[in-house]
Structure 1
Amino acid sequence: MQQWTGLVGHSPQMLRLPSALAMAGAAAFVALTGRRLFGARAGLVAGLLFALVPSVSRYAQEARGYAFVVLAVAAATFLLLRALDRPTAGRWALYGATVLMAGLFHMVALVFLASHGIIVLTRWWRRRERRWLVGWPVAVAVALLCVLPLVVLGQRQVGRQLGWLTAPSASYVVDVFWRGLFGSTAVSLCFLALSALPLAWTRGRRPALETALVAALPVLLLWIVSQGPSAYFLDRYLLFTLPAWSVLAAAGLTALRPRALTALGLAAVLALGLSDQVKIRGAHSREAFDARAAAAVIAEGYRPGDGFAPLRGTEAYLQFDIAVPYYLPARMKLKDVFVERTRQERGDLYAQVCADPAACIGNVRRVWVVTQGSADHQPFKGFPRAETDALNSTFPRRTVTVVPGMTVTLLER
């Protein structure tokens, strides 16, 4: 993203565009996989079903890595099928590249390799193609070796990044997970019902069973692993299974007769997900705080040399220190008064705060304090006691402005 924004800028549209392109690419691989396994008609329907899933629309417009994970796994599944048809070194290399991509964007996604491994082994059991037992392990091993340094580094932050997740119960899977995965309860039920149809076929079930492995096995494995000391079970972490669910549902839908039922099924999915599609584009689907409005308050009263004290502590994950400056004009630079080392200097998601807040304030004449909440007008809500005392003792004058979900306070000497 750093190279991308260096070329095209930091506008919201440009930040979102890579995810949109990645999800569009994933839709193409969904269609290609469906066509290879179940025919051209099923491939077309699979791509359409995938595009109609509300969570696909959501993560296609978020500047995060999940769309790229979906693209990587969708591409890997298609490239695996190609490599099994004609196992050349070039095809295995392409497959390995997509495995590497999936691991770099989200290590948890590598659980899909269990499904792929079973597919390779079951096909080998029938045909005894030795090149499969060489090509697939080598491609995966090379990819995993490249991901290994990231895994080692990531282990240092497992508790901090995933510590808020708890072991998922069976009721959580039924009541919450599927709705989150598809972005809609109704759409999830429709997909699951359609996906069950190919599994009931008396003939030609192998492609359906393989697709079901890619769709369902990662969900089961992550649920089991998450019963241990570290939990990884979250709907967006398993978003990469949506391509397989779409292919399987398309196989079931296109098998219905008369063929007009296919069009009716697509229309039904569209109708069932329409309200959720509207919701993810509504104001209530965004964060509860309005960083743009907070930045507008600061921009209106800004003076060169102003300081900045955003909420951190236990609420650092809200990243006010990034969100508010993002919406400020480029010429307006705020000094983050309580930062001793920036996140870039630390190579970390969070900055290192000063041990002595009073000393860090220095000779700054004015400080903009931004905290969460607006109902109680508390300018230092959530701030550590030492920072609150330093600000109170240094800046006797204050002007409090409330915006949706945030309180912006200008402190002056």
Structure 2
Amino acid sequence: MPTATQTPPAAVPAPARVGPRRLPGPDWLWAALLTLAVTTFRAGTPQLWRDELASWNAASRDTGELIGMLGHVDAVSGLYYLLLHGWVSVFGDSEAMLRLPSALAMAATAALVVAIARNLFDRRTAVFAGLLFALLPVVTRYGTEARSYALVVLAATAATWLLLRALERPGPARWAAYAVPVALSGLLHMVSLLVLLPHALIVLLRWWGQRRGRTVVGFALGAAAGLLPVIPLLLLGRSQAGRQIGWIKTPHLRDLAGLWDNLFASPLVGLGVAATALLPLAWSRGRRPAVELLLIGAVPVAAVYLVSQGSTSYFIDRYVLFTVPAWALLAAAGLAALKPRPVGVAALAALILLGVPDQRHLRTEQAKETADGRAAAAVITKGYRPGDGFVPLRGASERFYMTDFQIEYHLPDRIRMRDVFVRHSAEDSDDLFPVECALPERCLGDTGRIWLVTRGSAKDDAYGRLPADQARALKDHYRVTTSTHVRGLRVSLLERTR
């Protein structure tokens, strides 16, 4: 028993508070709901553009036809197409419904952004991050896009969140959980696997400070487990890369500025994010998490640039879209730390307001596709007769416009036209595009009337950039009776002369 002259033992200091291990209260919920509201507002107004039309066309096929196509083209989008196929079979294929999965993915990402901010910083930063992410123009741009990119952002952000949890308390279950979004990220878009590079650097930095070798082993096993199911897709996708992304040019250093502007769908917002994202590096408090987020944002971009110096280029903004949450978190951390606090609030409001003009444009009919497929389809619908034929602009250098998909999407189901110059349908060819007749004149058959759709202005010839042999066959046997110009397209009705 201690005597009166003895001093009591020193109090044991409380352990340092570890960041929350679960989603923090309602903050993640309002961020998700706000993002969902922003991305679904007038989501059906912009016309589908060619990449979205490819998604619709693929998802509209039956499962066997879709799998057959993926063996020849677009295998890297296969998982997304299969998911979208199931989605449209339940909810339909309107513009809004085609885009809703992307809106839901961005909403879920917003929740994870708030959770990561609470883990690495504090509640004020989490609130700023939730607001900023929800109102970035690029979140609207790809939250209203019938492509896989929003789902990739969700998978990569989930991988980061689960990595942080595993680093807090390493264990087999947490590293196994980490492997799941890594695999999904790679299956949805292979370039997103570059997120493993900054993740590995973060693990090494944490190991350097803690010297816990099991952490490195756990990460290596988790990453390997996530990569394993992606390997077959990597091999197949590599064989298809020339056809699908051969148009992407090898980048130069000056192209980094353009990529940055497009990465935020707004040059002004991109400039504002760049300025505020560097602020957390200027003070000691929060510097470590800021460095980790900077790695997640910058390393994949640098890696894509370097890899694209080879035979195949991947240097395009949407391929590194998964880095946006990290940049938003950095910017939010910088703004939230500004003193006095009203200055940070005002700066956040200013950064959001910079994107308002872009937000408004993203909800216009021409936000994605300038050619008016709706109006062109309406012209055909008004003058259609059973037995009419159809000739869209689909030459070797023009088919990427997907004019045929554009018209077919907007036509009512009751209208069935024979695609005159098609020898084998895309489904029969296990391809995205049909095989056209080598000798167009022999494919005309006895079709009495043909709807010809080409791209161009009101001054352009009705035959536009139609392949020369197809144009010659039509001119020899048909005459143009009406020709209507709508925005970006010319719709002509041809009637047989002999």
Could you tell me the TM-score, scaled by structure 2's length?
Answer: 0.79
**Alignment deviations for residues 206-253 of structure 1 (CA, whole Å, 9 cap, x no partner):** 111111100111111111222222211111211111100011111111
Q: Which whole-Å CA distance do the structure 1 matches of 2:159 and 2:392 have between them?
A: 42
State which of 166, 190, 210 in structure 2 corresponds to 1:83: 166
Q: Which is higher, the Rg of structure 1 or of structure 2?
A: 2
Q: Which whole-Å CA distance do the structure 1 matches of 2:489 and 2:415 have between them?
A: 20
State which of 236, 239, 263 in structure 1 corresponds to 2:321: 239
Q: Which whole-Å CA distance do the structure 1 matches of 2:316 and 2:340 have between them?
A: 38
State which of 303, 307, 311 in structure 2 corresponds to 1:229: 311
Give yes or no for the alignment of 1:72 onto 2:72. no
Q: Which whole-Å CA distance do the structure 1 matches of 2:221 and 2:426 have between them?
A: 37
* Equivalent residue number for residue 377 of structure 2: 295
Q: Which whole-Å CA distance do the structure 2 matches of 1:131 and 1:305 have between them?
A: 70
State which of 175, 192, 195 in structure 1 corresponds to 2:274: 192
* Equivalent residue number for residue 447 of structure 2: 364
By how many angstroms is 1:101 displaced?
Answer: 1.7
By how many angstroms is 1:299 displaced?
Answer: 0.6
Do 2:170 and 2:218's aligned partners in 1 also have CA atoms closer than 8 Å?
A: yes
SS in 2 for 1:43: helix
- Higher mean alpha-carbon deviation, 119-128 vs 265-274, is at 119-128
Do 1:66 and 1:239's aligned partners in 2 also have CA atoms closer than 8 Å?
A: yes
* Equivalent residue number for residue 462 of structure 2: 379
Q: Which whole-Å CA distance do the structure 1 matches of 2:442 and 2:230 have between them?
A: 42
Q: Which whole-Å CA distance do the structure 2 matches of 1:343 and 1:182 have between them?
A: 35
* Equivalent residue number for residue 213 of structure 1: 295
Q: Which whole-Å CA distance do the structure 2 matches of 1:171 and 1:291 have between them?
A: 35
Do 1:34 and 1:46's aligned partners in 2 also have CA atoms closer than 8 Å?
A: yes
Q: Which whole-Å CA distance do the structure 2 matches of 1:201 and 1:350 have between them?
A: 55
State which of 16, 39, 45 in structure 1 corresponds to 2:99: 16
By how many angstroms is 1:132 displaced?
Answer: 2.4
By how many angstroms is 1:337 displaced?
Answer: 1.9
Do 2:294 and 2:326's aligned partners in 1 also have CA atoms closer than 8 Å?
A: yes
SS in 1 for 2:313: coil
* Equivalent residue number for residue 255 of structure 1: 337
Do 1:35 and 1:44's aligned partners in 2 also have CA atoms closer than 8 Å?
A: no
In structure 2, the CA distance between the partners of 1:284 and 1:397, relative to structure 1 (3 Å rule), is closer
Report the structure, 1 or 2, having the larger helix content.
1
By how many angstroms is 1:160 displaced?
Answer: 2.4
* Equivalent residue number for residue 271 of structure 1: 353
Counterpart of 2:114, as a letter, is A
Do 2:480 and 2:492's aligned partners in 1 also have CA atoms closer than 8 Å?
A: no
Q: Which whole-Å CA distance do the structure 2 matches of 1:368 and 1:362 have between them?
A: 15
State which of 191, 214, 219 in structure 2 corresponds to 1:131: 214
* Equivalent residue number for residue 107 of structure 1: 190
SS in 1 for 2:321: helix
In structure 2, the CA distance between the partners of 1:331 and 1:283, relative to structure 1 (3 Å rule), is closer
**Alignment deviations for residues 353-408 of structure 1 (CA, whole Å, 9 cap, x no partner):** 22222222223222211111123242222221221122222323532111110011
* Equivalent residue number for residue 144 of structure 1: 227
By how many angstroms is 1:283 displaced?
Answer: 4.3
By how many angstroms is 1:203 displaced?
Answer: 4.3
Do 1:183 and 1:276's aligned partners in 2 also have CA atoms closer than 8 Å?
A: yes
* Equivalent residue number for residue 41 of structure 1: 124
In structure 2, the CA distance between the partners of 1:191 and 1:387, relative to structure 1 (3 Å rule), is same
Counterpart of 1:189, as a letter, is L
By how many angstroms is 1:284 displaced?
Answer: 4.6
Ranked by relative contact order (alpha carbons within 8 Å, sequence separation 6 or more), the top structure is 2
In structure 1, list runs of 5 or more residues that go unmatched.
none
In structure 2, the CA distance between the partners of 1:47 and 1:385, relative to structure 1 (3 Å rule), is same
By how many angstroms is 1:204 displaced?
Answer: 4.1
Q: Which whole-Å CA distance do the structure 2 matches of 1:398 and 1:58 have between them?
A: 41
SS in 2 for 1:379: coil
Q: Which whole-Å CA distance do the structure 2 matches of 1:357 and 1:153 have between them?
A: 34
Q: Which whole-Å CA distance do the structure 2 matches of 1:340 and 1:139 have between them?
A: 49
State which of 139, 151, 157 in structure 2 corresponds to 1:56: 139
Counterpart of 1:92, as a letter, is W
Counterpart of 1:68, as a letter, is L
Give yes or no for the alignment of 1:280 onto 2:362. yes
SS in 2 for 1:375: coil
Counterpart of 1:408, as a letter, is V
Do 1:163 and 1:230's aligned partners in 2 also have CA atoms closer than 8 Å?
A: yes
Give yes or no for the alignment of 1:316 onto 2:399. yes
By how many angstroms is 1:28 displaced?
Answer: 0.9
Do 1:377 and 1:400's aligned partners in 2 also have CA atoms closer than 8 Å?
A: no
In structure 2, list runs of 5 or more residues that go unmatched.
1-83
Counterpart of 2:337, as a letter, is A
Counterpart of 1:359, as a letter, is R
